[in-house]
Every structure is written in C-alpha cells, then in structure tokens.
Structure 1
Amino acid sequence: MAGVPPEQIREQMIQVKEITDKPFGVDLLVAIPEQVDAAIDVIIDEGATSFIGGLGVPRRVIEKCHEASVKVMSMCGKVAHAVDAANAGCDVVIAQGTEGGGHTGQVAGMALIPQIVDAVDVPVIAAGAIFDGRGLTASLAFGAQGAWIGTRFIASEEAHAALVYKQQILETESDQTVISRCYSGKPMRVIRNDYVDDWSKRPEDLKPFPQQMLVSVQNATMGLLAGLDSDIDPDKACMPAGQGAGGIHEILSAKEIIARIMSEAEDNIVRMGDLIQ
C-alpha cells in the first residue's frame, strides 16, 4: 500500500478477514515517517502475521512487530541493504532485481538474488519480473526459498486495481517499462506514458522523496495506488509494473495463476533433474 491512511488500511484488513481465515501480511512504504507508527498499530491490532517494508524498516518498527509476534520482511535492491535489514532483525529479506515493478534498484535479479542469499542468514525471497513457473524455478535455483510476485497478480480478477491498469499491463511489452523518479522522488519502474516522458525532459525539476510524491498527488497521478477505479488517465497515471509484463497476456483468477505457476515449476524441476541423469 502506498499513501493509504491507517483507517483505510484497517478497512482493507477487515475485508480480508471476512473472506479468509488464512494468515496474511501487509506491505507499506515505511519511509513516510508520519504514517508509520499509526499504520503499524493498525496492522498489529487487526491480526496480520507479517509486515513488509517497501523502503526499509526502522529498527523500532521491527521491535514493535516482534513484540506482537508479527514477522518482518524488507524489500532490498542491494546486498548492503539486505545485510543491514538482517542485522536489524528482519525475519525475511526480499531480494528485488531491477526488473521488478515499483520502487527498485539497479542490479539485475540474476546477479542480486544469489549474492544476497550468500550474504545473509535469514530466508530470502526472490522478486523482480517473476510471472510464471520458470521464474519460480529460477528463484529456487538461485537459493531463494520462494518468489515475490507483483505485476502478474495485478492482472488478476481479484486485484484491487482499476481495469484500465490491468489492461495496460496486458498491452505492455517488456521494453515499455522505465525507471523514473517522477512519481515519488525515488527510482520506480512504471509503464511509460506521456507524464513520465515529460518529466524525463526536465530532471532538474524533480524533488526528493516524499516531496515529489506530494507533487504527484496534486497532479492527480496516484489514484491507482489509492485504489481508485474511475477518472483514471493512463497518459499520466502512476502504473508500477515489472519487465515481466511482456509475458502477461490475460487476466486470470489468483487461483488459476498460482495453479499454473506451480504446475510449470514442477515440470521444470523434473525436466532439469532429467538433465543430470
């Protein structure tokens, strides 16, 4: 969740609990300090079993979560960030390659994931342009214990995303996402549009995070991230997406997506095992 006030987080968590009794987590941009503490209180109060920080997790947040038996995960785009997260007490590190959508780093997943696996003593989850069973298989081969999949699930029936956003993902080729600071002030991989192109011509006008995000809110570009499904202009809307968008061709149910990924991964693992016999 990005820019979502604590009470809206509570509302969405209540909705989740109404449809499942399974464990679930909440992902936030914790780099916005005035939102963090109130949001964490809600996450704990409403019974999440894990908290995921998109832009680092302050040690006090980790300690507060652990006191409530909530696991803490941190998205990391550099080996150094992963080491810092593990040393601070994070239970899981999510190693996101630059191919991934949303806020991202500069190192490709093929290089980053195994290096982070070697550098930390906590479980590592692979992320970045993973959209099918081949990506899951590769993640496991790199030493990760699972895969963090974003863009593929935005293009799902259940996703809390506007139809125009889902359709844009289906129409996006792998070379039509770009990394830009124009929406938040931090590097973010998004679907290229007129708004992104305009800012690319005047980088000197970009402000740091979170001031640039406030500019984006004023320009009405962040509606999709706030869950709006109407009055969305794809020529300026912030639409995070990874390079894996080029391999996504249909909107499916989350159940079907998971079933396909698992089936493909199992077939790949068997096939690779046959190679060494």
Structure 2
Amino acid sequence: MHTHICPLGLSLQDQPREREMGGWRGILGFEYGIVLAPLGPDISGPELVAAVANAGGLGLLRAPDWESPDYVRDLIRKTRTLTDKPFGVGVVLAFPHKENIKAILDEKVAVLQLYWGECTEELVLQAHQAGVKVVPQVGRVEEAKKAIDAGVDAIIVQGREAGGHVIGQDSLFSLVPRVVDLVGDRNIPVIAAGGIVDGRGYVAALSLGAQGICVGTRFLATEESYAHPTYKRKLVELENTEYTDVFGRARWPGAPHRVLKTPFFQDWRNLPSHENEANQPVIGRSTIHGMEKEIRRFAGTVPNPTTTGDIESMVMYAGQSVGLIKEILPAAEVVKRLVEGAQLLIHQRFNSEIPGRSKLV
C-alpha cells in the first residue's frame, strides 16, 4: 500500500505512486494546484493574474478575440511588472489567434491555455520549442484523447456546471474520473473546472482524481477582477444560473453558456432561435483590450469597469455554485481560503479510522 503527502500536506493512502511523482502540489511548477480561469473578454487582467500568481496559484490572462500581438505583448509585460512569478495566457481558438499565439510564445510565458478548438500536435511542438507548456481545456472525453495524443502538459476538464461558455454536456463528477483513467500513468495532470468555489469543491475534485482545480466565478468576485462593480454585486446577490444560448449567437454561434438568472435574462430566456444581437439596439459601450466597442442587446460581452449604459441588461456569466459566494474578497484571500478550507476538511473529516485499513495520518 502506497502512502504519499497529498497537496495539502496530509497523508492519503491508496494513491498511485505516480501521483507522488507528478505532484499535485507542484503542478506545472506552481505552489498550489489552483488555476485562475482566463476570464473573458478581459476580466482576468494583469492585476488579478498577478495577485493569483503572487499567492501561489497559476494566473491566466485572456488574449483578445482578434489579432493584436502588440497588445498581447504589452499585457504580458504589464503583468510582469506586478509579479515575478510565472503565469499564462488563455486563447480561444474559435477566433483569429495565430499572431497572438506567436507573441505569447515569443514572450515565453509559462503556460499557453487553449479552448474551443483543436489543440494540434504541431502547436504543442511549437510551444515546447519556445519553452512554453500547453494546457487545453476540454469538455468531452474525445477531446481529452486528442489532447493526450498531441503531447500536452496538463488538461483542464470542464464540467457543465461551469460559468461562461461550456463546450460539453457532462458533469464534472462523471467527466473527470473518465479523463483521469484515460491519462493513466502518463505525467499529465488533470485539472477540474466547473462549480468549484470553496475547499469542499477542492477536496471533491481531488477525490475524483484531479490534481488541481480551475476557478472562474469565485475569482470574478474579487477586488482585483476587472468585472464591472454591478456584475460583482450580482454575483453576491443572485443564487441561480441557467445553461442557455441567448447571448452572442451572431458572433459565436453554437456556443452555449451558463449565466446568472438576472431579471433581464428571466424576461428573455425564451428568445426565439432566429433572433440574435446583430439587429438589436445598442445598450452600452465598453473599452475592451484597448478597443472601443458597442454592446448590443443579447451580446455575449460582460461589462467591465469602462462599460456604460444599461449594465443590468448585459450578460453576466456564472457557474452553478455562485450561491456560495457571499462577499467580494482579495484574490489572495480566495487562494488562502481554498487551500485552508480543503486542508481543514481533509483533517477533520477524513483523518479517521476506516474499517479494514490503517488509520490515515
């Protein structure tokens, strides 16, 4: 029987020896297996990413959804003025991205995170030649198989519980163990994403075989988040979400998402399928990654601090566990509570005698 020190500094039994070697605690070289999701379009900016990195997690910037390599370089360099820790950049492959990825690799950030598109062997090789690790996010077992074959460094597994754009239909509890089994003894950490906001979710993810967690909604509701104050307030006030396709149909067709059940959404949740934002009135304006943008009704763009107009009628993405978020916190405090909450739970609940086995230490 193998015993090893789990990521929270406590011994767990009956874990494969490979886990000890792969090391959840040192996942991809970071102190904690906590990943800040690349919150779009610009919500995980330099301040939030640096705060998570300085607290020991992996912070992910979000690249623009259009080619802007010079801006991407500036974003990376600004983040480096706020932290001397490694961090990464998330890229949505459904949008123009080749020049942005080139800039990311030129800057040699720690991690290139990819979503909503195929993570090819060629791209992985290109990143590895630049010394950059590749971490795709997947929502289906088939995607995970392709990612493993492409030689990725870790895989974020997103369950249907997640906020924002959700590519798969399976829940985290069914999907993570299947991907863990698929990975087998390869040194490819599995990172769970979807509805994780506290230590309980952290421990649940570990019990499923994940070696880390990717957190979005809880980091949205932080002081450093670039979300509009009204959006942050709604994350604390509202408790329910819905999986829908009402927002952003013209710009990003076939991309369902999970949103807060705001009064605006409740009024329009049954929007006819032929309707989209293209012919709707402008309800606000925003500066996104340095570009002035109009926001039309039913657009898929969340409000940031520069946004003006009818904020409460704009989309507000959130994961299913948003009801557990009761306050806006500093990002470092979120990391601290996730780690300490999980540590305490393992110590109090699971350090007990199990019939037929030696006591967990």
TM-score range, shorter chain: 0.7 to 0.9
Tell me what 2:124 maps to. 62
C-alpha distance in 2 between matches for 1:90 and 1:229: 36
1:197 Cα deviation (Å)?
5.0
Residue 91 of structure 2 is aligned to residue 91 of structure 1: no
Tell me what 1:180 maps to. 245
Residue 273 of structure 2 is aligned to residue 203 of structure 1: yes
SS in 1 for 2:137: strand
C-alpha distance in 2 between matches for 1:232 and 1:112: 40
1:38 Cα deviation (Å)?
0.8
Structure 1 counterpart of 2:179, from 110, 116, 119: 116
TM-score, length of structure 1 as denominator length: 0.87
SS in 1 for 2:258: strand
Alignment RMSD: 2.3
1:267 Cα deviation (Å)?
0.9
Task: Kindly name which structure, 1 or 2, has the bigger radius of gyration based on alpha carbons.
Answer: 2
Structure 1 counterpart of 2:143, from 81, 90, 96: 81
Higher helix fraction (1 or 2): 1
Structure 2 counterpart of 1:224, from 302, 321, 326: 302
Q: Is the CA contact 2:241–2:318 (under 8 Å) kept in the aligned structure 1?
A: no
Tell me what 1:36 maps to. 97
Residue 79 of structure 2 is aligned to residue 13 of structure 1: no
C-alpha distance in 2 between matches for 1:217 and 1:81: 34
Q: Structure 1 residues 69, 249: closer, same or farther in 2, change over 3 A?
A: same
1:23 Cα deviation (Å)?
0.5
SS in 1 for 2:274: helix
Task: Give the AA of the match of 1:7.
Answer: D
Q: Which runs of 5+ in 1 are unaligned?
A: 208-215
C-alpha distance in 2 between matches for 1:36 and 1:196: 34
Task: Give the AA of the match of 2:321.
Answer: G
How many corresponding residue pairs?
265
Residue 231 of structure 2 is aligned to residue 165 of structure 1: yes
Tell me what 1:243 maps to. 320
Q: How big is each residue's C-alpha offset from its partner over 1:88-143, in whole Å with a ceiling of 9 and x where there is no partner?
A: 22211111110001121211111111111111242100010100011111111110
Structure 1 counterpart of 2:114, from 36, 53, 70: 53
Structure 2 counterpart of 1:146, from 212, 217, 228: 212
C-alpha distance in 1 between matches for 2:72 and 2:111: 14
SS in 2 for 1:81: helix
C-alpha distance in 2 between matches for 1:7 and 1:224: 24
Higher strand fraction (1 or 2): 2
Q: Is the CA contact 1:96–1:109 (under 8 Å) kept in the aligned structure 2?
A: yes
Aligned-residue sequence identity (percent) comes to: 34
Alignment of structure 1 residues 21-32 onto 2, 5 Å: 21-32=84-95
Q: Structure 1 residues 245, 165: closer, same or farther in 2, change over 3 A?
A: same
Q: Structure 1 residues 11, 160: closer, same or farther in 2, change over 3 A?
A: farther
SS in 2 for 1:84: helix
1:168 Cα deviation (Å)?
1.5
Q: Which runs of 5+ in 2 are unaligned?
A: 1-39, 42-64, 278-292
Residue 198 of structure 2 is aligned to residue 132 of structure 1: yes
